[in-house]
Amino acid sequence: MVSIRWEDFSISEEEDDLDAKSVVLYNNLYQVSIHDLGRDWWHMCVVRRDRSSPRDWRDLQRIKNEIMGEEREAVEVYPRESRLVDTMNASHLWVAPAGVSWPVGYIQREVSDRVEGVNKQRPFLKTPKGFGEGEMSLDAPIMVPPSPPVGLRKKPSSEEGTSTAIFKKIMSFMEDKNK
């Protein structure tokens, strides 16, 4: 397996065609456009610098963690055809406010880098926090929304208001940009 060096993200200082509520970050592998949707909701457009498809789930998770924080949740939407936007090799992540959980998904954390039966997984380039503390199983509990879905749940938590260093830089950059 080829190990690719991962550099920290930095904010682009170049003028671009994005509006006042957007910022662009780069590292050696990815370009990430971040748009403030208001009330702490964010849209992230992730593009590989070589313009190939950014479909590495672990990379997208790492990008979300490094920029928006480890305890924020994000989703990709596979829309009905009448709302489809597909103009380039990009992944679009919709990031919820701190402390908000989507009403679907797994309830508990399960992380593995080993082969279990027919399940293949590659080794981690960077070992995730808490790795090895539990056993992987194929029957992790799944959260299913009530019918009809009632929207997002806000859970009280101590991580509300926390943000990464790059997120703080983004906020400062956007404030300066809008002066």
DSSP 3-48: ----PPPEE--S--S--TTEEEEE-SSEEEEEEEEETTEEEEEEEE
State whether 24 and 43 are in the same domain. yes
Per the CB < 8 A criterion, the answer to whether 96 and 125 are in contact is no
Please, what sign has the CA dihedral across residues 77, 4, 164, 142? positive
Q: What is the largest CA-CA distance in the chain?
A: 57
State whether 136 and 81 are in the same domain. no
* Cis upstream peptide for 148 (omega within 30°): yes
User: Does residue 57 sit within a domain?
Assistant: yes
State whether 84 and 172 are in the same domain. yes
Query: How far, in Å, are 4, 62, 99 from residue 124 at the CA level?
Result: 12, 12, 27
State whether 97 and 167 are in the same domain. yes
User: Does residue 92 sit within a domain?
Assistant: yes
* Domain with 130 in it: 105-143
Quote the number of domains for the chain: 2
State whether 64 and 49 are in the same domain. yes
State whether 129 and 159 are in the same domain. no
Per-residue pLDDT of the chain (179 residues; tens, 9 = 90+): 455 789 999 999 876 656 788 999 999 999 999 999 999 999 999 999 999 987 888 899 999 999 999 999 999 999 999 999 999 999 999 999 999 988 888 888 777 777 777 777 777 666 666 666 554 444 555 555 555 444 555 554 444 555 788 888 888 888 888 87
157's tokens: 């938590």
pTM: 0.76
